[in-house]
A and B are shown apart, each in its own frame.
Chain A
Amino acid sequence: MTTSAPKNGPNVGAIVIISIAVAINLVIAKLMATWSYSWFPPQASSAASYVDDLFALETGIGSFIFFGCTGVMGWVLLFNRAGKYDESDGAPIEGNTKLEIIWTIIPLVTVFAIAAYTMNVNMKLQTLGPKHKYAIGSDPTTLVSFDPTAEIGPIDVIARQWSWEFVYPSGVRSSELHLPVDQRVNLRLISQDVLHSFYVPAFRLKQDIIPGSIISYSLTPTKEGRFRLRDAMFSGAYFSQNQTDVIVESEQTYDGWLKATAKQPLQPGLDPGRPLYDRRLSRGDKGWATVPPAPAPMVNDPGDPSLPHDA
């Protein structure tokens, strides 16, 4: 194809085709954004809807860009392929300063807009506190003040290689985290060995737990059910076993559980890495070296890992 002289007046055919393509792309982007809500676990905290809405917005914008760009690629593949013996060159277009400036400014504005919106969303989550360092051997809990807006807590969340332990203000200890629905809870995140991460996918929240530091962390569960808490920061041999459940229940059930559990004697809690470690020892310690799991935490309620979780 040779360069053609610039035509006078707008190219009506091109405008119609581009308008139709953009309209179809907008519809697809909207569908993708709506569909994206189904990719998540149920929304079980006050943060979840903000995160899902933001994700849907980005999925919409991203889909528009993706299908727009790959649509151009598809068009070119369909209509601009050289024949087998065609040795000719394409249109020798070297550049177009106006176009280049436009497509630098459009992503810039898009990025500014998404960033501004995201900062707004992030401030609404109101969940994260900075870490406070403490000397090993001292009591870390004295360093952190209770979140005044929280109604429940502070509950100590103690992470180890490889178990979770939850200590309530009344002294009750458990291997599963019980929380009343719709109340803001303050957690104090403590690690006794390596990095761990407090991650409940249904809450859309995650906070690393850093040895030598304590983190005051607050959140509000909004849906009753049994949700999975996963260690998200790699913590060694039995990392994948380091999971337990968060049980969100009505206030009455929660109070009842707290009272009943206080009467239970201390007993070994959940220690999911232990059976695997024992099996390893019984086979003559094959496999590469690992630190032995910490002893099972002594708790009033060891929980029931066999119950199915909602998300």
Chain B
Amino acid sequence: MTSTNYDPRILKAPHPVPGAPDNWKRFFSFNTDAKVIGIQYIATSLFFLLVGGLLAMIVRGELITPPADLVDPTVYNGLYTMHGTVMLFLFLFPILNGFNNLLIPTMIGAPDMAFPKLNAAAFWLVPVFATVLMGSFFAPGGPASSGWWSYPPMSLQNPLGHFINGEFLWILAVALSGISSIMGAINFVTTIIRMRAPGMGFFKMPVYVWTAWAAQTIQLVGLPALTGGAVMLLFDLSFGTSFFRPEGGGDPVLFQHFFWFYSHPAVYVLVLPVFGIFSELFPVYARKPLFGYRFVALASFGITFLSLIVWAHHMFYTGTPNWMRHVFMFTTMLIAVPTGVKVFAWLGTLWRGNLRLNTPMLFCLGGLFNFIFAGITGVMLATVPIDIHVGNTYFVVAHFHYVIFNTIAFGVFAGIYHWFPKFTGRMYYEGLGKVHFGLTFIGATLNWLPLHWAGLLGMPRRVASYDPEFAIWNVIASIGAFMLGVASIPFILNMVSSWARGPQAPPNPWRAIGLEWLLPSPPPAENFEDDIPTVISEPYGYGLGHPLVEDEEFYVRRSQEA
């Protein structure tokens, strides 16, 4: 055995905060271990997935019949506004930050994040802004109810005149969420650039790390614009300025530019790591190297670059001149090229593979299936004349949920099942996992596929009531939504009981290749600590018969003996 000397490039992370507990209580403490923080993020987000899902089920309950008869229309507007906000800011962003925390240090062989205390602080902002956001339910006049995009001048209407109101708390929560995300982004990008194990050049990094890097770069460029727009909106709302108020000479459309400059790329912040999860999992369960690894890795940054110049496609019908519509149509459609590269690479990975259809693979295949569909409707939405007809209808809602749930949440579930044994040290129950997948796939398809037709027929989104000709599509969609609610039961059962009493997990139950699988399950506090391996191969060497790191047997043996 050649001794793997500590690489001077690697910063030594501080130990967990003195006095931090080392049992289950550590998940409720200010702990600086990235793995603890990752699980804190994921558990918090899954709780809010249930909250957001519950709000969605009331919304779908309202829409199961044409008239507005279940809740008052103002309550309805508050519910779907909060549904969107909770799902984005309290479920999807935090859960992917959870994955980043678990996977980035373990995949690149770093002991921890570059800035462990900043990392913990970024997580603890989540419960803070969650409280602020949920507190808006108790604000006079109710929570924010102008949609998750909060367009002025409607978001500036403050009928009761209170200084503290739902919209005020909403903007505050969004700004805090932005601060938390920027803190996270600085940490993830620094960690990836500075703390890779010896030998791990950029083209030896797993694709998940590439995609996380590309996604967090978008956060650094885009989030300041949204935060700036939010601050200006807050000034208009609370201090009488007129950035967006037409009465004072402001322009409401200006807000839309600020908002979409970040909020369209935000979708790629969410979907890129899921592309990373697909790229990690397909090779494992097809037992093949990732097809075109370098193309896939570089395509991530292609998406990052293009994502920053697509925002005006949300504004094709707001009085935008034709030249601008054509430019933004073109850039939006170009995104199909790097995403297409990825889709074809995954298909190339599956081709002539040796497939194992366990729960993570099922969620990946389901997610890829849905994503191909979502990509096609995405190109349709980019083309100006079609967008003019279907924009702001249920077609957009359907497309958006095909991306955000049927692709991203599917990838998230795949990732949870795949890495569950690694980070909890327990195996999950395959049967419950498959039931969860079946219910989720059928429920999601019933929920969102029919809504494409409702949109093509002209049903606007955000309505509490609708004309009877749309009823059939909405009834099917509501049944699908309730089925998704039911699907959470086997998932919760599986997670709770497996973590409590599941069989002990071996270090590498899937025979996967990657630094994280050379660690014991669950990994110790500082990952490899003083024995950081030297990486000698590209990832995904399935069937190629070469080791990933120097002295691989040593690490395998050590992880098994731990």
Do A and B assemble together? yes
In the complex, the chain A residue whose C-beta lies closest to that of B72 is A287
Within 8 A of B (CB), among A111-159: 111, 114-115, 118-119, 121-123, 125, 128-131, 133, 135-136
Q: Which residues of A contact B232 (CB under 8 A)?
A: none
Cβ–Cβ contact B337 & A108, under 8 A: yes
Interface residues on B, range: 35 or more
A160: shortest Cβ distance to chain B, in Å?
13
Q: Which residues of B contact A122 (CB under 8 A)?
A: 322, 325-326, 384-385
A135: shortest Cβ distance to chain B, in Å?
7
A169: shortest Cβ distance to chain B, in Å?
23
Q: Which residues of B contact A231 (CB under 8 A)?
A: 460
Contact of A62 among B68, B140, B376, B461 (CB under 8 A): B376
Cβ–Cβ contact B73 & A240, under 8 A: yes
Q: Could you give, for residues 18-39 of chain A, a 1 whenever the CB lies within 8 Å of some chain B CB and a 0 otherwise?
A: 0000000000000000000001
Q: Does B442 contact A (CB under 8 A)?
A: no
Cβ–Cβ contact B153 & A194, under 8 A: yes
Q: Does B330 contact A (CB under 8 A)?
A: yes
Cβ–Cβ contact B246 & A236, under 8 A: no
Cβ–Cβ contact A287 & B73, under 8 A: yes
Within 8 A of A (CB), among B329-344: 329-330, 333-334, 336-337, 340-341, 343-344
Given A92-B544, A136-B246, A240-B463 in contact, is the A111-B333 Cβ separation under 8 Å? yes
Measured in the bound complex, the distance between the Cα atoms of B354 and A55 in whole Å is 38
Given A82-B355, A205-B389, A212-B246 in contact, is the A195-B252 Cβ separation under 8 Å? yes
Q: Does B383 contact A (CB under 8 A)?
A: yes
Given A69-B347, A94-B289, A211-B246 in contact, is the A234-B151 Cβ separation under 8 Å? yes
Q: Does B504 contact A (CB under 8 A)?
A: no
Within 8 A of A (CB), among B308-352: 317-322, 325-326, 329-330, 333-334, 336-337, 340-341, 343-345, 347-348, 350-352
Cβ–Cβ contact B391 & A206, under 8 A: yes
Q: Does A239 contact B (CB under 8 A)?
A: yes
Q: Does B363 contact A (CB under 8 A)?
A: no
Q: Which 5 A-B pairs have the closest CB atoms?
A: A201-B458, A288-B142, A212-B246, A287-B72, A131-B319
Q: Which residues of B contact A205 (CB under 8 A)?
A: 388-389
Q: Does B74 contact A (CB under 8 A)?
A: yes
Measured in the bound complex, the distance between the Cα atoms of B470 and A311 in whole Å is 11
Cβ–Cβ contact A289 & B160, under 8 A: yes
Q: Does B241 contact A (CB under 8 A)?
A: no
Instruction: Report how many A-B pairs have Cβ atoms within 8 Å.
Output: 308
Contact of B330 among A66, A73, A115, A240 (CB under 8 A): A115
Cβ–Cβ contact B141 & A288, under 8 A: yes
B321: shortest Cβ distance to chain A, in Å?
5
Q: Does B503 contact A (CB under 8 A)?
A: no
Cβ–Cβ contact B249 & A54, under 8 A: no
Q: Does A266 contact B (CB under 8 A)?
A: no
Contact of A72 among B151, B334, B347 (CB under 8 A): B347
Q: Does B146 contact A (CB under 8 A)?
A: yes
Stretch touching chain A among B88-96, B291-299, B518-526: B291-299
In the complex, the chain B residue whose C-beta lies closest to that of A39 is B456
Interface residues on A, range: 35 or more
13 examples of A-B residue contacts, CB within 8 angstroms: A65-B372, A70-B369, A73-B368, A77-B357, A100-B341, A205-B388, A208-B317, A208-B318, A230-B460, A232-B460, A233-B392, A240-B464, A288-B77
| Additional 17 contacts, C-beta under 8 A, given A82-B354, A94-B293 | A65-B372, A72-B350, A73-B365, A82-B355, A88-B354, A90-B355, A93-B288, A94-B289, A103-B341, A111-B379, A115-B326, A122-B385, A206-B317, A208-B317, A232-B393, A243-B467, A289-B142
Measured in the bound complex, the distance between the Cα atoms of B392 and A173 in whole Å is 28
Q: Which residues of A contact B252 (CB under 8 A)?
A: 195, 210-212
Cβ–Cβ contact B318 & A73, under 8 A: no
Point out which of B142, B250, B458, B462 has the most chain A C-beta atoms below 10 A from its C-beta. B458
Contact of B465 among A107, A215, A234, A240 (CB under 8 A): A240
Q: Does A224 contact B (CB under 8 A)?
A: no
Q: Which residues of B contact A243 (CB under 8 A)?
A: 467
Cβ–Cβ contact B372 & A70, under 8 A: yes
Measured in the bound complex, the distance between the Cα atoms of B376 and A111 in whole Å is 11
Q: Which residues of B contact A111 (CB under 8 A)?
A: 333-334, 336-337, 379
Contact of B348 among A86, A93, A130, A211 (CB under 8 A): A93
Measured in the bound complex, the distance between the Cα atoms of B461 and A239 in whole Å is 10
Q: Does B380 contact A (CB under 8 A)?
A: yes
